[in-house]
Chains A and B, each alone.
Chain A
Amino acid sequence: NAGVTQTPKFQVLKTGQSMTLQCAQDMNHEYMSWYRQDPGMGLRLIHYSVGAGITDQGEVPNGYNVSRSTTEDFPLRLLSAAPSQTSVYFCASSDQREGAYEQYFGPGTRLTVT
């Protein structure tokens, strides 16, 4: 199993550009989520999905859109990039372990918005 994969690994955007961060998992997990990681702020939840066709907002959803058409894929769209969206983005899928849910994280996408 490849686990959770993310592309691209690095990306530089200009302010106002749009792009999609790709995320895929091959573990047949129902639950997937997107986080951003900023220094001193930890992992902040952007959007999450409980299954194909169902998504919901997390703590910091503004400026981002998601969709979940299949169990495997959960892309994150930046509509109009802003410098405040410079961050490292992690996709994760969740599976039950010892009666609770364990997060499996992808390797991340480092995004710089100039």
Chain B
Amino acid sequence: QQQVKQSPQSLIVQKGGISIINCAYENTAFDYFPWYQQFPGKGPALLIAIRPDVSEKKEGRFTISFNKSAKQFSLHIMDSQPGDSATYFCAASIGGSYIPTFGRGTSLIVHP
């Protein structure tokens, strides 16, 4: 049973475009929603994270939008660049838990 569903599995965007990756969760006890970025040949690294008390969090070109009632959250990458080409994982955890539940990942390719 997949507790965090991520889509799409792969995404191709032109340079300068907007990349959007969506995640949906089932467990309403989740209260921390991080996104991890993984470049080829490297381990994932934390990119940005949000808690459900806010609907949006922005860091540079990266924005998380959060919809608590729909149990959905999404990552928006504005002005996408070839250097953003990577695999992105959404995740969810319950505050005191050190083991998050990961989505299956989205492979993003940004064409120059």
Q: What is A's interface to B at a CB cutoff of 8 Å?
A: 4, 31, 33, 40-43, 45, 48, 50, 58, 90, 92, 94, 97-108
Give the residues from 30 to 86 in chain B that come closer than 8 angstroms, CB to CB, to chain A: 31-32, 34, 36, 41-46, 49, 51
- Closest B residue by C-beta to A92: B43
Q: In the complex, what's the smallest C-beta–C-beta distance from A94 to chain B, in angstroms?
A: 4
State which size class the interface on B falls in.
Answer: 20 to 34
Q: In the complex, what's the smallest C-beta–C-beta distance from A52 to chain B, in angstroms?
A: 15
Provide the residues of chain A in CB contact with B44, threshold 8 Å: 43, 90, 103, 105
1/0 per residue, CB under 8 A from A, across B91-112: the answer is 0010101111011110000000
Which of B41, B42, B51 contacts A98 (CB under 8 A)? B51
Which of A42, A48, A90 contacts B43 (CB under 8 A)? A90
Q: In the complex, what's the smallest C-beta–C-beta distance from A108 to chain B, in angstroms?
A: 5
Q: Besides A41-B104, A90-B44, A102-B46, 5 other CB < 8 A contacts?
A: A43-B89, A97-B49, A101-B100, A108-B41, A108-B43
Query: Do A42 and B97 touch (CB < 8 A)?
Result: no
Query: Do B98 and A42 touch (CB < 8 A)?
Result: no
Query: Do A99 and B95 touch (CB < 8 A)?
Result: yes
Provide the residues of chain A in CB contact with B95, threshold 8 Å: 99-100
Provide the residues of chain A in CB contact with B49, threshold 8 Å: 97-98, 100, 102
Query: Do B104 and A108 touch (CB < 8 A)?
Result: no
Q: In the complex, what's the smallest C-beta–C-beta distance from A12 to chain B, in angstroms?
A: 17
- Closest A residue by C-beta to B44: A105
Query: Do B89 and A107 touch (CB < 8 A)?
Result: no
